[in-house]
Chain A
């Protein structure tokens, strides 16, 4: 493995770590036994947003380190447009809760065209959706980051299925399907967990909201759990279920169409991490 690959891989890992940390940091913050109204405690959420934003930037810089051909740019643009159109269509066909049809295309695109493409597709789809629906805000870095990782891991999944597992051709399609559906379900939940909870620190306030020696770690966890249950879980299960349904119904045909397209037109030297 070349030095570039290793460094590239480490960059992915580190930015992933930033993401994970952004999620779990409230548990790590020590409760200082001081008077309430500590100014610095308010910085934490802002800093988190900034850091997640910076790691998205870092990832993008890394991913653009290799030449991006006109073909990739055009393909990305059009696929992002199609995914966004599906989102509008979703408003016409109301699905329950957090059901959003943009994840299935992101996962499929990452699966067929590789992890680099998948990340860009995820990040840009969320960005474009936000631009059009007027949803740009401090939650956007989280959304881009997580959707990007959805696409990226879909690419790794494909790598795993094709290189590592070597399934027989007939079994392959069925296997791919099951794996993709499970994957879609998992990410449906995970995406919600990460993104809907970005404002938890703001919403719930500083840990030391009491004048007594504050809430301990266990208490924080319990409240976090309650928060998740109340706000996120139902929404996310709907999204996860929606992903699975979409992938089941539309997936095989879309996958065939994308693969055929890739074989015929998309001869690009993709050395994906």
Chain B
């Protein structure tokens, strides 16, 4: 159904082609997962399928693409919109109107479809995506997952044969992501819709994928695009989900894709006896001490008596479902929100009553959307802006050039920050808040939308800072990251701390257990490394 031959494309003004001599074939009704490091060209490839590249983006293209008998390069996105539905990453910047029904009907209105036909199609699509109870709602009152479903509905209203999605769950929390992916699976299995999905979080969709396409980064040539059944491709990929990585290391065949398949293998292995849980190593000292913190918003209690202590050099991961108060807690620490009751003490000094700008001389807070910070003309300037705000431009605690080198940004020090990739932008923001050499780092969901490689790099950076006695409080939904990074894990629920313990506490929780813990319950192993060492395959 989709045939790509020798596709080469270069963005306008770029030195290297984004896609280089790509060949790919996709059959009808397949559920295709496209993965690969950030910047490798996944988005570009997907946009070639409906003609956005090159019609919307410009640039030079060569090669052949055929999509369901049409040629996107010649015909353009407006024509292809009837055959290929496209869903983008950020739900909010796809919507023109404010109500669910109106938004879905927008495309049909522009195509001058007769009103009776419009109603039929809108009804059809509302029921297909389970949106009927939400039909009259305004789009900003919906959750991220519901919004993406509306976006899918708006694309499906033309009855396309192919649905292409560019990282639709990157900005969503796990529950919403699950929502969206289940909807896609249903569409593929019940309707036979061909689905092409670019994703980083492979774990959720691997079991359903018919094919996996891996586009290597620019370090490797793109002729080595790997395409085939998931097991085939995963065998050749380097960074894979824990179950798969374990399977490869232990030689399990056929390669397990889900916990269920993995358990079948894991159960046959001789396990060491239950190791007693070691008491968490409490580091001395207290950098941050929170006592009985209460915060209410609009009459609703968000934080109910939080107690938390973080020592210098400690990395604490804060987890909890959506709405449990994690971001609120961070904002209280930094002074953006004023708690009703309770005490926050930073390095011996209370925080309440101080202006956030003053508090942030000693605390680095990376918000969920780091782009909100960036406005200077160059990366170096961003750091200078922070220094000037604090009055430290003449005597910076960390020389900006040194910080940039550490963050891996020295090559782009003169570039315009908003032109950089997402990972780089995040690091620029990180630089902007750490240039004052804070003793405490607060990170709110820093790994959203990052690929495995970038997550590892971030982790390495945090470890370096930890070695310098900087404390880190990391809020995330990503259990695998928590398993790798945390010295301690704190779980919040409904505004209360329900667990504050070594990372092993995750293993016991059904909601937060990483894959390895689910494979080997009771062992306290959290990462692939733990399991391999525990099984004697790898030396400590």
A and B in contact, CB less than 8 Å: yes
Q: How far is the CB of A212 from chain B (nearest CB, A)?
A: 59
5 cross-chain pairs, A with B, having the tightest CB-CB distances, nearest first: A267-B58, A260-B416, A256-B377, A253-B375, A264-B419
Q: How far is the CB of A255 from chain B (nearest CB, A)?
A: 12
Residues of B within 8 A of A267 (CB): 58
C-alpha gap A260/B58 in the complex (Å): 17
Q: How far is the CB of A258 from chain B (nearest CB, A)?
A: 13
Question: B residues near A, CB below 8 A?
Answer: 58, 375, 377, 416, 419
C-alpha gap A267/B11 in the complex (Å): 14
Contact with B along A232-266 (1 / 0, CB 8 A): 00000000000000000000010010001000100
Residues of B within 8 A of A260 (CB): 416
Q: How far is the CB of B21 from chain A (nearest CB, A)?
A: 27
C-alpha gap A106/B58 in the complex (Å): 28
Residues of B within 8 A of A256 (CB): 377
User: Nearest chain-A residue to B13 (Cβ)?
Assistant: A264
Residues of A within 8 A of B377 (CB): 256
Count residues of chain A with CB under 8 A from any CB of chain B.
Answer: 5
User: Nearest chain-A residue to B96 (Cβ)?
Assistant: A77
User: Nearest chain-A residue to B78 (Cβ)?
Assistant: A70
Q: How far is the CB of B348 from chain A (nearest CB, A)?
A: 37
Q: How far is the CB of B155 from chain A (nearest CB, A)?
A: 16
Q: How far is the CB of A31 from chain B (nearest CB, A)?
A: 53
Contact with B along A210-225 (1 / 0, CB 8 A): 0000000000000000
Q: How far is the CB of A266 from chain B (nearest CB, A)?
A: 11
C-alpha gap A256/B418 in the complex (Å): 13
User: Nearest chain-A residue to B416 (Cβ)?
Assistant: A260
C-alpha gap A9/B375 in the complex (Å): 39
Residues of A within 8 A of B416 (CB): 260
Main secondary structure of the interface of A (DSSP, over half): helix
C-alpha gap A256/B376 in the complex (Å): 11
Q: List 5 A-B contacts (CB under 8 A).
A: A253-B375, A256-B377, A260-B416, A264-B419, A267-B58
Residues of B within 8 A of A264 (CB): 419
Q: How far is the CB of B43 from chain A (nearest CB, A)?
A: 16
C-alpha gap A253/B381 in the complex (Å): 14
C-alpha gap A105/B58 in the complex (Å): 28
C-alpha gap A149/B58 in the complex (Å): 33
C-alpha gap A225/B416 in the complex (Å): 52
Q: How far is the CB of B173 from chain A (nearest CB, A)?
A: 26
C-alpha gap A128/B143 in the complex (Å): 27
Contact with B along A190-226 (1 / 0, CB 8 A): 0000000000000000000000000000000000000
Q: How far is the CB of A241 from chain B (nearest CB, A)?
A: 26
C-alpha gap A260/B375 in the complex (Å): 13
Q: How far is the CB of A16 from chain B (nearest CB, A)?
A: 33
C-alpha gap A126/B58 in the complex (Å): 34
Residues of A within 8 A of B375 (CB): 253
Q: How far is the CB of B167 from chain A (nearest CB, A)?
A: 20
C-alpha gap A267/B416 in the complex (Å): 20
Q: How far is the CB of B54 from chain A (nearest CB, A)?
A: 12
Q: How far is the CB of B4 from chain A (nearest CB, A)?
A: 26
Q: How far is the CB of A82 from chain B (nearest CB, A)?
A: 14
User: Nearest chain-B residue to A257 (Cβ)?
Assistant: B375
C-alpha gap A264/B58 in the complex (Å): 11
Q: How far is the CB of A71 from chain B (nearest CB, A)?
A: 8
User: Nearest chain-B residue to A261 (Cβ)?
Assistant: B418
Contact with B along A67-101 (1 / 0, CB 8 A): 00000000000000000000000000000000000
C-alpha gap A154/B230 in the complex (Å): 58
User: Nearest chain-B residue to A69 (Cβ)?
Assistant: B56
C-alpha gap A214/B504 in the complex (Å): 96
Residues of B within 8 A of A253 (CB): 375
C-alpha gap A267/B12 in the complex (Å): 11
C-alpha gap A19/B522 in the complex (Å): 82
Contact with B along A30-63 (1 / 0, CB 8 A): 0000000000000000000000000000000000
Q: How far is the CB of A233 from chain B (nearest CB, A)?
A: 37
Q: How far is the CB of A13 from chain B (nearest CB, A)?
A: 34
C-alpha gap A256/B58 in the complex (Å): 23
C-alpha gap A267/B58 in the complex (Å): 9
Q: How far is the CB of A250 from chain B (nearest CB, A)?
A: 11
User: Nearest chain-B residue to A260 (Cβ)?
Assistant: B416
Q: How far is the CB of A153 from chain B (nearest CB, A)?
A: 29
Residues of A within 8 A of B419 (CB): 264
User: Nearest chain-A residue to B77 (Cβ)?
Assistant: A70
Q: How far is the CB of B231 from chain A (nearest CB, A)?
A: 41
C-alpha gap A260/B416 in the complex (Å): 10
C-alpha gap A264/B419 in the complex (Å): 10
User: Nearest chain-A residue to B377 (Cβ)?
Assistant: A256
User: Nearest chain-B residue to A77 (Cβ)?
Assistant: B96
User: Nearest chain-B residue to A73 (Cβ)?
Assistant: B96
C-alpha gap A256/B377 in the complex (Å): 9
C-alpha gap A267/B57 in the complex (Å): 9
Q: How far is the CB of B102 from chain A (nearest CB, A)?
A: 15
Q: How far is the CB of A70 from chain B (nearest CB, A)?
A: 9
User: Nearest chain-B residue to A263 (Cβ)?
Assistant: B13
User: Nearest chain-A residue to B58 (Cβ)?
Assistant: A267
C-alpha gap A267/B375 in the complex (Å): 23
C-alpha gap A8/B149 in the complex (Å): 45
User: Nearest chain-B residue to A253 (Cβ)?
Assistant: B375
Q: How far is the CB of B319 from chain A (nearest CB, A)?
A: 35
C-alpha gap A247/B498 in the complex (Å): 53
Q: How far is the CB of B11 from chain A (nearest CB, A)?
A: 11
C-alpha gap A260/B419 in the complex (Å): 11
Q: How far is the CB of A176 from chain B (nearest CB, A)?
A: 17
C-alpha gap A253/B375 in the complex (Å): 9
C-alpha gap A262/B260 in the complex (Å): 53
C-alpha gap A265/B377 in the complex (Å): 18
C-alpha gap A253/B418 in the complex (Å): 14
Q: How far is the CB of B236 from chain A (nearest CB, A)?
A: 37
C-alpha gap A256/B419 in the complex (Å): 14
C-alpha gap A199/B416 in the complex (Å): 49
User: Nearest chain-A residue to B376 (Cβ)?
Assistant: A253
C-alpha gap A41/B58 in the complex (Å): 59
Q: How far is the CB of B241 from chain A (nearest CB, A)?
A: 36
Q: How far is the CB of B270 from chain A (nearest CB, A)?
A: 60
Q: How far is the CB of A268 from chain B (nearest CB, A)?
A: 11
C-alpha gap A264/B11 in the complex (Å): 11
Q: How far is the CB of B359 from chain A (nearest CB, A)?
A: 24
Q: How far is the CB of B385 from chain A (nearest CB, A)?
A: 12
C-alpha gap A204/B58 in the complex (Å): 59
C-alpha gap A98/B377 in the complex (Å): 33
Q: How far is the CB of B260 from chain A (nearest CB, A)?
A: 45
Q: How far is the CB of A161 from chain B (nearest CB, A)?
A: 22
C-alpha gap A255/B422 in the complex (Å): 25
Q: How far is the CB of A109 from chain B (nearest CB, A)?
A: 18
C-alpha gap A100/B416 in the complex (Å): 31
Residues of A within 8 A of B58 (CB): 267
